[in-house]
Structure 1
Amino acid sequence: MRARIILLSAILAAQTASADVVTVSEEAIVEWKAVYGQVETRDRVPARARIGGTIVSLEVAEGDRVEAGQRIALVEDDKLAFQLDSIDARLEALRARLETASADLERGRQLLERGVISTQRLDQLQTAVDVIEGDIRSLESERLVIEQQVAEGEVLSPDAGVVLSVPISRGSVIAPGEPVAVIAGGGVFLRLAVPERHARDLAEGDEIEIGSGSDDAAERRTGRLVKLYPQIAGGRVEADVEVEGLDGRYVGLRVPVRLPVGERMAILVPETALTRHGGLDFVNVETAGGEAIARAVVPGETISRDGETWREILTGLEAGDRVVTENE
């Protein structure tokens, strides 16, 4: 369905000295449904804490713009520092034991050369050194794990965008996986909730009018329906509309939207063909003899097309009537 009004009239104009004559016919016009769209972001991702602890630094607030990977908060867990101190103490003790065991092994090699000790005893000394070295490597790996947990106390932005909400404050205690901030990125679009009775009248690719349907062309904008969601909830169908240059400063802002939900046949005449006398509306209709007579009509809504104003005539005219309009 095309989003602009489709006027399929074959207008035959005859110029006279003082007026134009227009032959009217039934034309298909679009039925519009006024709804509200809400500005949404394509991505809305929480920045979560990877470890539990206390927020010691909070570097963003609502409305701040962040880059992907930017640090937005710092979480510290005192227990990790205590674990590092414990590992360092154990490493220091093991290194001291290793120094002693290495010295015993060196003396054992010298004694073996002189035949004082057996090869079996030397193997025992070598094993003692190997065990201590293995314990040191194990503790060093354990220390690297703790250091990584400390590094993961930095809460990073998962995407570039704007900070929508920060549900915590400095000094808050949080658990692993708890959100520190919600980041909105990926651009903005309009999210519509359309009554289900109009769902079958919409199709992806339809043009959508943004605004209240003002006659001022400068105020009218269009968008494109890019997605219709298959699930109906609460009697409404959700749909996404792409609008070029949509203002994304306020996520959740409601915007009036007009949807094309059908077509109907109507008779349209130029606005200049209507005159009003005594509370009634008239148009001049040319008779078969070439005379113009005033005929009372009931006008309907105003329709704009290419900067010109047209009026729907509900009763009083039939297709084929020749309407006299005033020259400007």
Structure 2
Amino acid sequence: MRKALPKRNIFLSACLFALTLAASSNGANSFTVQQTSIVDKKAVFATVQSTDSLSARVRTSGTVEELNVTEGSYVAAGETIAMVRDPKLSLQIEALDAQINAAERQVANLKTELERAQQLFERGSTTKARLDAANTEFDVAQSNLEAARAEKAVVVRQMEEGAVLAPQAGRVLEVPITVGAVVMTGESIATIAKDNYILRMALPERHAQFLKEGDPIELAGRGMNCDSTCTQQGKIVKVYPEISEGRVLADARIDGLGDYFVGERIQVRVGAGSRMAYLVPGAFIFTRSGIDFVRIKGTDGNATEIAVQTGQPYIQNGEDMIEILTGLAAGDELIQP
């Protein structure tokens, strides 16, 4: 059976404990609690978007005979991504070649007649009217030859326009046609997203008053949330002036989004206004039995343990701080445990 300690021993033990606690409190680091203005941050989901998405369109009707890209392909500006050909154009080329050959022979024949008429006129064997008629016939034939050649150039140009070119450099998002498909002028062959991604956020309208260009945001890791992995920094580059369906849109720019999918959702953290709060260095908070405590220096110099309710962590002046929701007041002097 345990013996009870004499009252004198109990008194001496209590005094010794108090002296030890006072000595440790006086030699430890201290922190004075004050109200600090902090920025509330809200975790929202942003969508990866391309700044520009353009369609590569057909310039002439025909059949798709070549297709050089698929979804996910990277293309350069001006690169040929498909070839559209119209069989009727080849037939027109053959017909125009025949017309050009006939016109060339006619020009050659009329040139010979014009030279003969010129010689006869110089010898006085023909009239001026006959010479003028031969000259006119030669000019008309030469004009017909030039017209046939110009018409052939137009058809050749139409055949060249069968090459569908990429309007900008970027990644192919959609290819709605296949080889052998019949397409009309202006029909889309592929949709190309410019390789310059942004994050588009849709925030509740109550946060619209707090958003402005240049505000920083934090980006979580891929597939993660902002609780512990919101380390990558970016900034808001555009706030749209219209509120639609109770939400305001804002765009943010962050480096290194080229590996993300267009339309992929990522959690970010944005500022949602400021307020006054108590921030305490994390070193002054300790946990016992699942409850957070701090040590407050009393008027007599002794330390008193007070249970507190902690909030979100913050970084202030490069130091890790924790918000205290209840348990402290301005002016309290904390002692590091």
- Alignment TM class, shorter chain as reference: 0.7 to 0.9
Give the Cα separation in 2 of the matches to 1:146 and 1:283: 87
Indicate the residue corresponding to 1:7 in structure 2: none
The verdict on how the C-alpha distance between 1:247 and 1:87 changes in structure 2, with shifts beyond 3 A counting, is closer
CA shift digits 1:210-246 (9 cap, x unpaired)? 1133346xx5111011111222222222222111223
Indicate the residue corresponding to 2:108 in structure 1: 99
Indicate the residue corresponding to 2:327 in structure 1: 316
Give the Cα separation in 2 of the matches to 1:233 and 1:154: 41
Residue correspondence of structure 1 range 1-328 to structure 2 within 5 A: 16=25, 19-211=28-220, 212-215=225-228, 220-276=231-287, 280-304=291-315, 309-326=320-337
CA shift digits 1:182-226 (9 cap, x unpaired)? 22225222122222221110110111111133346xx51110111
Q: Kindly report the root-mean-square deviation, in angstroms, between the aligned alpha carbons of the 2 structures.
A: 2.3
Give the Cα separation in 2 of the matches to 1:166 and 1:126: 58
Q: CA deviation at 1:266?
A: 1.1
Give the Cα separation in 2 of the matches to 1:310 and 1:131: 93
TM-score of the pair, normalised by structure 2? 0.85
Give the Cα separation in 2 of the matches to 1:50 and 1:295: 77
Q: Any conservation in 1 of the 2:58–2:186 contact (CA below 8 Å)?
A: yes
Indicate the residue corresponding to 2:4 in structure 1: none
Indicate the residue corresponding to 2:3 in structure 1: none
Give the Cα separation in 2 of the matches to 1:314 and 1:101: 105
Give the Cα separation in 1 of the matches to 2:122 and 2:318: 110
Q: CA deviation at 1:83?
A: 1.6
Secondary structure, aligned partner of 2:107 = helix
Aligned residues: 311
| Paired amino acid for 1:296 | A
Q: Any conservation in 2 of the 1:270–1:325 contact (CA below 8 Å)?
A: no
CA shift digits 1:240-289 (9 cap, x unpaired)? 21112234342222111111011111112233433455665432211111
CA shift digits 1:47-91 (9 cap, x unpaired)? 111111111000111111111111111010112112212211222
Give the Cα separation in 2 of the matches to 1:122 and 1:49: 52
Secondary structure, aligned partner of 1:94 = helix
Which protein has the larger Cα radius of gyration, Structure 1 or Structure 2? 2
Q: CA deviation at 1:307?
A: 7.3
Indicate the residue corresponding to 1:12 in structure 2: none
The unaligned stretches of length 5 or more in structure 1 are 1-14
Give the Cα separation in 1 of the matches to 2:294 and 2:25: 17
The verdict on how the C-alpha distance between 1:279 and 1:165 changes in structure 2, with shifts beyond 3 A counting, is closer
Give the Cα separation in 1 of the matches to 2:69 and 2:56: 12
Secondary structure, aligned partner of 2:124 = coil
Q: Any conservation in 1 of the 2:48–2:200 contact (CA below 8 Å)?
A: yes
Q: Any conservation in 2 of the 1:301–1:312 contact (CA below 8 Å)?
A: yes
| Paired amino acid for 2:31 | V
The verdict on how the C-alpha distance between 1:277 and 1:109 changes in structure 2, with shifts beyond 3 A counting, is closer
| Paired amino acid for 1:213 | C
| Paired amino acid for 1:53 | G
Q: Any conservation in 1 of the 2:171–2:195 contact (CA below 8 Å)?
A: no
The verdict on how the C-alpha distance between 1:148 and 1:242 changes in structure 2, with shifts beyond 3 A counting, is same
Q: CA deviation at 1:25?
A: 0.8
Give the Cα separation in 2 of the matches to 1:60 and 1:312: 54
The unaligned stretches of length 5 or more in structure 2 are 1-23
The answer to which structure has the higher strand fraction is 1
The verdict on how the C-alpha distance between 1:151 and 1:247 changes in structure 2, with shifts beyond 3 A counting, is closer
Out of 229-238 and 77-86, give the one that drifted further: 229-238
The verdict on how the C-alpha distance between 1:221 and 1:195 changes in structure 2, with shifts beyond 3 A counting, is same
Q: Any conservation in 1 of the 2:46–2:267 contact (CA below 8 Å)?
A: yes
The verdict on how the C-alpha distance between 1:37 and 1:278 changes in structure 2, with shifts beyond 3 A counting, is closer
| Paired amino acid for 1:227 | K
Percent pairwise identity: 41
| Paired amino acid for 1:288 | T
Out of 163-172 and 187-196, give the one that drifted further: 187-196
